[in-house]
């Protein structure tokens, strides 16, 4: 039976540090502030927003909701972003994605100041992550994987890590971060041949394919750590990960659960990025 790596204690530890850093900033007269920019009224966005606002409040971070109608023009959205860029009291901006399809998403994302890009959606943050030059921030979910790994003391340097998925939100950034921690990283995707064989050889498996229970128990073996980033609706209508958790947990050494795992760390990471942004902007 695997050790189940829960997100809650990881989030709690991050939040503890965030609250301390926020307090230190407030003592300097700076109240760290996140602006949450939402276009439209998607229930998932609103749910996440409410939980982020509540958590920010508890940590001494100011949260500002900026809500635009679903039919807002691209130029008006860009104007709003520029306004937030120029607002010295706002340190980080979370913009919900994807934007409406009629918009040029890249053009909009480019507008956001890299210094306030706390979820790593700008080309500047991406270049920063890829090159290690310190610009911007990694996407929160990707960083949450790394926070889980660090908290639970999973060895990474010199280990074979297999990342399933190559999205800019998880697969690629996690790959870059594992590489900078000296893992030997293999990036797999839909065109990968013999994914089961490749997964079986890994010591660390990051499942970020977004496909319900893609990773089967017989792809896995003793000695592995599995970080499951997937959150899907399974064939039975219940939430499930990219890994067949119930069977996998009897095989591998350590595994994150589909609910209460990586996903429960992202808000903590987001708010840690807000204080980080506020610190950087204050020390400039």
Which residues contribute to the site for its own copies (CB under 8 A)?
106, 123-131, 133, 135, 157-160, 166, 168, 172, 175-176, 179, 182, 184-189, 191-193, 198
Strand pairing of 232-233 and 239-240? antiparallel
Closest listed residue to residue 228, CA positions, set 78, 14, 4, 1: 4
Shortest distance, position 124 Cβ to its own copies, whole Å: 6
Strand pairing of 254-255 and 225-228? parallel
Residue 110 CA to residue 135 CA, distance in Å, equals: 14
- 195 phi/psi in degrees, rounded to 5: -55, -40
What residue ranges in 28-159 does DSSP mark as E strands?
33-39, 62-68, 92-95
Please identify, using beta-carbon distances, which residue of 70 and 106 lies nearer to its own copies: 106
Shortest distance, position 121 Cβ to its own copies, whole Å: 10
Please identify, using beta-carbon distances, which residue of 175 and 266 lies nearer to its own copies: 175
| SS3 assignment, position 93 | strand
Q: Compute how many other C-beta atoms are within 10 angstroms of the C-beta atom of residue 51.
A: 11
Closest listed residue to residue 35, CA positions, set 76, 120, 82, 95: 95
Shortest distance, position 92 Cβ to its own copies, whole Å: 19
Please identify, using beta-carbon distances, which residue of 114 and 275 lies nearer to its own copies: 114
Shortest distance, position 108 Cβ to its own copies, whole Å: 13
Sequence-ordered list of residues with C-beta below 8 angstroms from that of 265, at least 6 positions apart, any chain: 7, 10, 11, 14, 144, 147, 148
Shortest distance, position 68 Cβ to its own copies, whole Å: 24
Sequence-ordered list of residues with C-beta below 8 angstroms from that of 30, at least 6 positions apart, any chain: 278, 282
Please identify, using beta-carbon distances, which residue of 50 and 131 lies nearer to its own copies: 131
Shortest distance, position 198 Cβ to its own copies, whole Å: 7
Q: Which two tokens stand for residue 15?
A: 């939040």
Please identify, using beta-carbon distances, which residue of 183 and 278 lies nearer to its own copies: 183
Please identify, using beta-carbon distances, which residue of 7 and 128 lies nearer to its own copies: 128
Q: Using the CB atoms, write b or e for 116-126: b if 16+ within 10 Å.
A: bbbbbbbebbb
Please identify, using beta-carbon distances, which residue of 188 and 214 lies nearer to its own copies: 188
């Amino acid at each position: 039976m695997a050790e189940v790596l829960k997100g809650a204690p990881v989030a709690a530890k991050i939040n503890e540090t965030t609250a301390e850093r926020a307090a230190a900033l407030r003592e300097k007269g700076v109240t760290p502030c996140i602006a949450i920019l939402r276009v439209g009224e998607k229930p998932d966005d609103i749910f996440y927003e409410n939980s982020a606002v509540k958590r920010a409040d508890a940590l001494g971070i100011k949260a500002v909701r900026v809500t635009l109608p679903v039919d807002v023009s691209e130029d008006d959205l860009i104007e709003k972003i520029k306004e937030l860029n120029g607002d010295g009291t706002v340190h980080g901006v979370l913009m919900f994605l994807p934007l409406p399809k009629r918009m040029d998403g890249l053009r909009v994302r480019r507008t956001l100041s890299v210094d306030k890009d706390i979820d790593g959606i700008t080309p500047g943050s991406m270049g920063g992550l890829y090159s290690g030059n310190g610009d911007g921030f990694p996407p929160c979910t990707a960083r949450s994987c790394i926070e889980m790994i660090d908290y639970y003391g999973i060895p990474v340097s010199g280990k074979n890590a297999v990342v399933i998925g190559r999205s800019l939100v998880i697969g690629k950034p996690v790959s870059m971060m594992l590489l900078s921690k000296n893992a030997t990283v293999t990036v797999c995707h839909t065109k990968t041949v013999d994914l089961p064989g490749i997964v079986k050889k890994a010591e660390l498996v990051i499942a970020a394919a977004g496909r319900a229970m893609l990773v089967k128990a017989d792809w896995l073996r003793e000695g592995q750590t599995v970080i499951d980033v997937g959150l899907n609706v399974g064939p039975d209508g219940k939430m499930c990960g990219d890994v067949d958790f119930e069977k996998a947990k009897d095989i591998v050494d350590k595994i994150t659960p589909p609910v209460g795992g990586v996903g429960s760390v992202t808000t903590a990471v987001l708010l840690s990025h807000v204080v980080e942004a506020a610190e950087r902007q204050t020390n400039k």
